[in-house]
Amino acid sequence: MAIFAAGCSSAEQVDVYTGDDLAAMDFKSTPGETSIVFVGDMYPWDFAKKYVKKDPAYMFRGTAPLLQQADLAVGNLETPVAEKAEKRTRKFDWTRPIHSLKAKTWVYRLPPDLLDGLTWAGIDLVSLANNHIGDCRADGVSETLEHLQAHGIKAVGAGNNLREATRPTVVEVNGVKFAFVASVSAETWITDIGQVNEEKNAISKRRRWMKRRLQATKDSAGSVITSESMVRRMVRRAKRMADVVVYFPHWGIRYHRPVFDEQAKMARAAIDAGADLVVGHHIHIWQPSEIYEGKPIVYGLGNFAFGSNNRRANEGLVVRAIFRGKSLDRLELYPTYTKNVDPVVKYQTKLLRGTFAGDTLRRVNLMSSKRGAEYAIREDKGVLYFSPDGASEDEGDAGSESRSNENAPARETHVNS
Tell me, what's the pLDDT at 105?
Answer: 66
φ/ψ of residue 277, rounded to 5: -155, 135
pTM: 0.90
Domains of the chain: 2-405 (3.60.21.10)
Q: CA 100 to CA 198: how far, in whole Å?
A: 13
Model confidence at 222: pLDDT above 50: yes
Model confidence at 261: pLDDT above 70: yes
Angle between helices 228-241 and 261-273 (to 10 degrees): 30
Q: Which of 3-7, 202-206, 229-233 has the highest mean pLDDT?
A: 229-233
Q: Over range 237-262, report the average pLDDT.
A: 97
Residues with Cβ within 8 Å of 334's Cβ and at least 6 positions away in sequence, in order, are 66, 317, 318, 319, 320, 351, 352, 380, 381
Q: CA 87 to CA 111: how far, in whole Å?
A: 12
Tell me, what's the pLDDT at 355?
Answer: 94
CA angle 379, 384, 385 (to 5 degrees): 115
Per-residue model confidence as pLDDT tens digits over 48-65: 999 999 999 999 999 999
If pLDDT is split at 50, 70 and 90, which confidence band does 416 have?
Answer: very low
Pair type for strands 72-77 and 158-159? unpaired
Model confidence at 412: pLDDT above 90: no
φ/ψ of residue 199, rounded to 5: -105, 125
- From its phi and psi, is residue 252 left (phi > 0), alpha (psi between -120 and 50) or beta? left
